A = this chain, B = another copy of it.
């Protein structure tokens, strides 16, 4: 406990000051972290490649994305209106705004050693909110974690950032009374374990766990007729991108029957072996998942140590709950549906998902499908592919359980900051004691709701 305890105490002490830092100062910190990461970029990317095998081009992109995220949150807090300041000059004077929740524990992901790890979106959004951060390093890339942690520690005020390592440290962190929220990206099993620990604390705390999903892709009859082969090519690229190691990997395809489509997809899948996976244990789990699927449905295409394509029909899919489980890796299952009603039935049977995708042509009626999927997912993609999550204000990277622990949250996009903030009201407070955001004269010139109007 002592390392974790030390970090949590330091974070709690730092919070008293850091929680009141101006948006300008927090912006400076986030931009300084981005600059440090860029300055050490070559070394960081090489180290990450040595530990993850994800390849230099992908990792360079990921580093750029990570710095973009940091600067997006910097811009958000520099502008300052994110605090949702509200003023009512009613019988009593009530003013409220979002304030940081306190020290946050962040669990990095294996599949994004930068963008969803130590310097990733969870850390960026928590720091932007004014919360000190303690990251539990992912064991799949310890040196990358240490390198990037140093880039943050070098510029962060005392106590505002710390890195801890090891399974026990992670558990201790979630149990520590001074930790006020948890962010996690990883497996359903890992996320659920943290949710259970957090819920059982004397003081329960929120856990924002992004646990991945199978990201169903629906191909409607018109779209299949018009561009089945084209969709097969796009789908293959999405299934095998990053050796299938994305939370938004399309693990399920619900489609009208088409030989052309299946042949094209099968041929591409079988064409070449994939790059190595992130870790031996991930590769083992993938192999086991593929074997499990092979025992339940038809294996249409497969390459040793590589991608896999399975096919089945709707009744079989609906009968086997196991087919709804994520196989983390470049595998996908096509469920062939002979009717629109069957497709809707499969849609209704789905658990919560990060995304769902619909391929439809002008003649396809997808309204009922959209209405069903909207209740199941965080993002609906039209005529595209689920992989690739834009870093932009409107983005939602979330979705109902089990895709995430709390379907009301997103871990990408500017709304991610709201996970680490809570509203606080000041009633009849003297102007001098109010935070600048709530002072009558609006010295920060932020957008505010005054007497119900913006």
A-to-B contact residues, CB < 8 Å? 15-16, 19-20, 81, 84, 86-88, 90-92, 94-96, 99, 101-102, 195-196, 199-200, 203-206, 352, 366-367, 370-371, 374-375, 377-384, 388, 390, 392-396, 398, 400-402, 405-410, 413-415, 421-430, 433, 447, 449, 451-452, 454
Contact = CB atoms under 8 A, between A and B. Distances in A.
B395 A204 contact: no
A378 B408 contact: no
A21 to B, nearest CB: 13
5 contacts: A95-B394, A379-B425, A380-B424, A393-B452, A454-B454
A292 to B, nearest CB: 21
Given A96-B394, A206-B408, A433 B370 contact: yes
Looking at chain A's contact residues, the main secondary structure is loop
B96 A407 contact: no
Given A408-B101, A425-B396, A16 B94 contact: no
Contact of A395 (B19, B406, B425): B425
B102 A375 contact: yes
A426 B380 contact: yes
A250 to B, nearest CB: 14
Contacts of A427: 379-382, 384
A218 to B, nearest CB: 13
Contacts of A352: 203
A97 to B, nearest CB: 9
Nearest to A12: B375
List the 7 closest pairs (A to B, CB-CB), nearest first: A199-B199, A86-B394, A396-B425, A379-B425, A88-B392, A408-B422, A88-B394
A72 B351 CA distance: 35
A366 B15 CA distance: 19
Interface hub of A102, A394, A428 (most chain B Cβ within 10 A):
A394
A400 B390 CA distance: 33
B87 A394 contact: yes
A195 B206 CA distance: 12
A196 B370 CA distance: 34
A435 to B, nearest CB: 9
Contacts of A374: 99, 424
Interface hub of A95, A390, A396, A409 (most chain B Cβ within 10 A):
A396
A88 B382 contact: no
Given A405-B204, A449-B393, A452-B393, A380 B429 contact: yes
Contacts of A392: 88, 90, 94, 452
A138 to B, nearest CB: 24
Nearest to A366: B433
B429 A396 contact: no
A203 B99 CA distance: 29
Given A94-B395, A101-B407, A88 B381 contact: no
A387 to B, nearest CB: 12
Given A99-B374, A402-B203, A428-B382, A421 B394 contact: no
Nearest to A374: B424
Contact of A422 (B90, B101, B407): B407
Contacts of A91: 390
Nearest to A438: B394
A331 to B, nearest CB: 24
Nearest to A447: B454
A15 B398 CA distance: 21
A92 B412 CA distance: 15
A367 B433 contact: yes
Nearest to A75: B452
Contacts of A19: 375
Interface hub of A15, A352, A393, A402 (most chain B Cβ within 10 A):
A393
A395 B430 contact: no
B87 A377 contact: no
A88 B357 CA distance: 19
